[in-house]
Amino acid sequence: MVLGQILIAAFLVSLLSFVGVLFLFKKKIDNLLFILVSFSVGALLGGAFLHLLPESLGSGLKFEHIFLYTIAGIITFFVLEKFLYWRHCHQGKCPAHTFTYMSLFGDGLHNFIDGTIIAASFLTSTPLGIASTIAIALHEIPQEIGDFSILLYGGFSKKKALLFNFLSALTAVLGALFVYFFSFIVNGLTAFLLPFAAGGFIYIAACDLIPELHKEKRVHYSLIQLLFLLIGIALMWLFKFI
């Protein structure tokens, strides 16, 4: 039953790669992304501080180990974005066809890690798995739109961009299967992945998404951002009572 939940969650997250087609109607989805990024910040922070870290504290790990693993998650996502996730390759510095495949490689690795987080969460408890999947899905939507645009810019046709982006996203399923089967072989794998995932969530929220929110200077829209950020946290809090 747990394996089924893990595979369904990982596959549903992979299907979000097709949301990139909405890039073709970018003007119509700007307002949606504005709300979604704010909501995603709250969901990621809530997932990290209300679910993943509390579960880690009850796993039997020493406090200092939990915090070290959380830092390891933050550093890993920094390295992934800095050195592997080549989405900031500027025109004139690398060939278009090259950076598209490098971007796909970076996306695949990122999605693999997302799959490991989903599996580790469901292996701990179903509510934690649901909460982690929602947090991952929310931050994946704007990312997948950006990924799709990179592939189009690199010369891919629309159909080819959708196909390759989906194949890259399917590595989430591989990551989920890896953790599910290796958790029975490697003792403490799930206990390590929970604070590690928390570090990843904190990094994405604090370093990638919150800076985007700061670009909005208008008071009215800033208040809307705050509202949906708080709604994201509240949603994660409600999942504690499922």
- 217 is a domain residue: yes
- 24 is a domain residue: no
**Lowest-confidence range among 47-51, 76-80, 113-117?**
76-80
Range of the domain at 117: 2-11+33-241
Q: Chain-wide mean pLDDT for the chain?
A: 83
- Residue 163: phi and psi, rounded to 5, are -65, -50
Query: Does the pLDDT of residue 144 top 80, yes or no?
Result: no
Query: Does the pLDDT of residue 146 top 70, yes or no?
Result: no
Give the dihedral of Cα atoms 99, 102, 106, 107; nearest 10 deg: 70
Question: What pLDDT score was predicted for residue 112?
Answer: 92
DSSP string computed for 37-60: HHHHHHHHHHIIIIIIHHHHHTTT
- State the total domains in the chain: 1
- 135 is a domain residue: yes
Q: Smallest Cα–Cα separation from 86: which of 111, 74, 104?
A: 104
188-192 average pLDDT score: 84
Query: Confidence class of residue 22 from pLDDT cuts 50, 70 and 90?
Result: low
Question: What pLDDT score was predicted for residue 92?
Answer: 42
Question: What pLDDT score was predicted for residue 98?
Answer: 54
